[in-house]
Amino acid sequence: MSGLCRIAVLISGRGTNLESIIRSIETDYIKKAQIVVVVSDNRDAQGLLRAEKQGIETIVIETKDFSTKQSYEEKLIETLQKLNIDLIVLAGFMRVLSSYFVKHFKWRIMNIHPALLPAFAGLQAQRQAVDSGVRFSGCTVHFVTEKVDKGPIIIQAVVPVYVEETEDTLSQRILQYEHKIYPKAIKMYVEGKLEITGNKVKIKDERFDQNVLISPSL
Ligand code: GRF
């Protein structure tokens, strides 16, 4: 990508992933990128305050103000297009985007999911992991397609699930890895290192070992 990558972060709540991305840009870990706007579908989202503190523009677009999903998404698309957004980063955005929205920003939307996709897709991924008795779970950054939680995977981190684990303790530990792999995925996107073929992402960087992000060596 030549020039500055203009990023929109979409949130619904807490915004700790947003915070980690803000820091990564601030510290120059991600270069040539700017968070132009933070959009929330919830006016009480804590993440909005984090953005405002950093002087980042915030916009609230709530579904209750729209009669259909399509009209809601039209507003979202119009808002993002007006701001010339290059990359849309979903960070705890609790809405499923339709193919109508996705096709407007093909291969320009990323999401983070708190499990090793394709395992434990959907809601309460950490609870699903704890209940299932798996030994490992983790987190996944992937491109968004019209199929929920199924787009090409960019990075995953593996996190052990202990016997005495609760949803809460596992969520906390996974979150620490989310804060590492999301900035990394964005950095590689901005540097033009992600190549999508079919449902696979090739990372064009010989220094990056695709399988190195395994706890606890991160
Ligand atoms: C994270 O666990 C993320 O994986 C999921 O929603 C949560 C958002 O947390 N999609 P935060 O708002 O970034 O703190």
Name which residue sits closest to atom 9 of ligand 1, judged by CA: 92
pTM score of the predicted model = 0.95
Name which residue sits closest to atom 3 of ligand 1, judged by CA: 92
Those residues of the chain that have pLDDT short of 70 are 1-2, 209-218
Domains of the chain: 1-105 (3.40.50.170), 112-218 (3.40.50.170)
To test the pocket of ligand 1, the residue of 175, 176, 177, 181 to mutate (highest count of ligand atoms within 8 Å of its CB) is 175
To test the pocket of ligand 1, the residue of 17, 42, 49, 90 to mutate (highest count of ligand atoms within 8 Å of its CB) is 17
What was the pLDDT predicted at 207? 73
What was the pLDDT predicted at 184? 94
What was the pLDDT predicted at 216? 47
DSSP line for 151-189: SPEEEEEEEE--TT--HHHHHHHHHHHHHHHHHHHHHHH
The CA-CA-CA angle for residues 5, 43, 141, to 5°, reads 40
What was the pLDDT predicted at 215? 53
Ligand 1 midpoint to CA 75 (Å): 24
Angle between helices 167-190 and 16-26 (to 10 degrees): 40
Q: CB-based contacts of 215: which residues, under 8 Å, 6+ apart?
A: 138, 157, 158, 159, 160, 177
Q: How far apart are alpha carbons 70 and 101 in whole angstroms?
A: 8
- Residue 142 annotated as catalytic: no
What was the pLDDT predicted at 217? 46
What was the pLDDT predicted at 218? 42
Paired strand residues for 141:
112, 155
Q: CB-based contacts of 137: which residues, under 8 Å, 6+ apart?
A: 114, 115, 116, 119, 120, 125, 126, 129, 158, 159, 161, 170, 174
What was the pLDDT predicted at 206? 73
Nearest-atom number in ligand 1 for the CA of 112 is 4
Please state the φ and ψ torsions of residue 179, each to the nearest 5 degrees.
-70, -15
Ligand 1 midpoint to CA 15 (Å): 7
Q: What residues flank ligand 1, with Cβ below 6 Å?
A: 11, 13-17, 47, 91-92, 112-114, 175, 178
